[in-house]
Amino acid sequence: MRVFIALDVPPPWRVAASGAQRALRASAGAGTLRFVDPTLMHLTLRFLGEIDPPATERLQRALSHHVVPFELTLTLGPAGTFGPAARTAVAWLGIGGERERLDALVARVGNAVATADLADERRPFRPHITLARVHRSASPDDRRHIADAIAALDSPPASPSRFHELVVVRSHLGGAQPRYEVLSRHGASRHA
């Protein structure tokens, strides 16, 4: 099964992300972008890919031991992209707030992943909420245009939100949008 560990996105963030998507659609057009359904948005802490059910059970036990309790306040940041403009592949909203606490939580998640004997993430953690992905067929000029449109977006309201819980999610691919199934929750279930 395809699994990731994430923080659920609170409703004010979904509203802000929807507004950013509308502005991006108006300035960059929708033809070269695949927008993420706001109901599916999340802040990925660790993507694990394909793992088997026994490994998922080990992971859930390890998360219960290494991660909870936790509490942190995060905010939305300006929109951006990764890498050079001509290679833009993803439009996102950045994350601010208690970043040191978020990094500490990600480190504890990493310890749980190691305890569960799962592969470690090699990419650096760059917290963001994905707004859209660029179609593979987009030209470098299309990508530069999209990057310029993203850079010109107004920053969303910070919408400080308190997080007390992370989720282990199974992703079912196929169709226009993936389908997500929460396998377990770790921590208190509330947003402030």
For the whole model, what pTM was predicted?
0.90
Tokens of 178: 């993936």
- Give me the pLDDT at residue 83, please: 87
The pLDDT, as a whole number, for residue 188 is 65
39 SS3 class: helix
What span, in angstroms and rounded, lies between the C-alpha atoms of 91 and 81?
5
**pLDDT at residue 192, as a whole number:** 40
**Domains: count for the chain:** 1
Distances (CA, A) of 158 to 3, 17, 96, 101, 155: 29, 11, 8, 17, 8
Range of the domain at 94: 2-191
Give the per-residue pLDDT at 190: 44
Contact (Cβ atoms closer than 8 angstroms) between residue 183 and residue 168: yes
pLDDT value of residue 99:
96
3-state class (DSSP) for residue 26: helix
Element holding 170 (H helix, E strand): strand 161-172
C-alpha 51/C-alpha 171 separation (Å) is: 11
CATH code: domain of residue 112: 3.90.1140.10
Q: What is the pLDDT of residue 94?
A: 97
pLDDT profile of the chain (192 residues), mean per 10: 94 97 89 92 93 94 86 96 93 97 94 90 89 94 95 95 95 80 78 42
